[in-house]
Amino acid sequence: MNEDPALYSKNCQMQRFDANYFLTTYLSQVNVKDNAAVLDVGAGDGLVTLEVLLPRLPNFKKLVVSDKSKKMVDFAKNRFHDERIETVQMDIVDYHKSFKDYFDHIFSFYCLNNVPEEKTPKAMKNIFDMLKPGGTFLATLIVNSSFFDICETMVKDNKWPKAMADYAKSFSPYRGLDNPEDKLRLFLEHAGFDVQICKYEKREFIYGGLKHFLDFGLAVVPILKVDSQDERTKFVADFKETIENCNELRIENSSEGEKVHFFYSALVVCASKPVRVCVT
């Protein structure tokens, strides 16, 4: 991710839209408790937590807003003015052991698809360990995306590999699979979860013009690795050209103006940590 919190915050409309959709559709599976301790993993700038998740948490006891980026955490901290809410810099692959068996509910929106495949078992086990017995986990993960295709094209064409190559390596480990939900379910079950839902969904978000979609892309791609303003300007021009030539997008012009249809797919999971009963 481009670690510019202000830029990301201005251009995360799709993330807010989808978090609202998935919570509206699946939150009943979580059975949110009163007086609950809640964790949001990979909360970024904190806007989705504030505007989408928080209103759905009645009478919570504790909300931990976490991200591995210090810049994002520092930015998110200024959004919250409730002593029950704590912002924490935390990489889910190396979590705070003080949170063992701590949370009633854990949420994560479009974060865990960025965890490399070899580290995913550790991430899932950490989430499992942080839940109380009987606690629940709801997450969404990107699978395929026309935006991934755009970035991959730039890397293959040797356009700005310095800015794109590392990002391309972080594409979802579920990308291109016929049944990505099966792979995710295995990770979850190996960590110890009881899986209630593990579902693949095709998604579409409509941006109000090419500029808005380009702004979204620049908020996500780590272009800050570009060395100078001249290089940045050239990068943006190449990025725009690649977007315009992407067959996986649909750019529509009508009397209502330009629209960009962005296509992607996602996994949604609802799972729980079993309550183990000791038999004497």
> 109: number of CA atoms within 13 Å, CB side?
23
Six token digits for residue 26: 């699946």
Does residue 101 have a pLDDT over 80?
yes
DSSP single-letter state for residue 100: T
Mean pLDDT of the region 261-265: 95
Please give the model's pTM, rounded to 2 decimal places.
0.92
**Facing residues of 106 across strands?**
39, 137
Mean pLDDT of the region 219-247: 78
Position 280 in a domain: no
Query: Does 161 or 240 have the greater pLDDT score?
Result: 240
Position 75 in a domain: yes
pLDDT of residue 75: 94
Q: What is the rounded CA–CA span in Å between residue 224 and residue 232?
A: 8
CATH of the domain at 249: 3.40.50.150
Q: What is the rounded CA–CA span in Å between residue 272 and residue 131?
A: 9
Rounded to the nearest integer, the mean pLDDT of the chain is 90
Most confident range (mean pLDDT) of 91-95, 140-144, 211-215, 248-252 is: 140-144
**Facing residues of 43 across strands?**
none
> Following DSSP, what letter does each residue of 15-47 receive, concatenated?
HHHHHHHHHHHHGGGT-PPTT-EEEEET-TTSH
Q: What is the tally of structural domains in the chain?
A: 1
Position 279 in a domain: no
Does residue 240 have a pLDDT over 60?
yes
Ranking 96-100, 157-161, 225-229 by mean pLDDT, the lowest is 225-229
For 211, the domain range is 5-272
Could you give the percent of the chain with pLDDT greater than 90?
A: 65
What is the band of 280 on the pLDDT scale with cuts at 50, 70, 90?
very low
* Three-class DSSP category at 267: strand
pLDDT of residue 145: 92
pLDDT of residue 227: 62
Position 277 in a domain: no
CB 45 within 8 A of CB 110: no
Position 59 in a domain: yes
Position 190 in a domain: yes
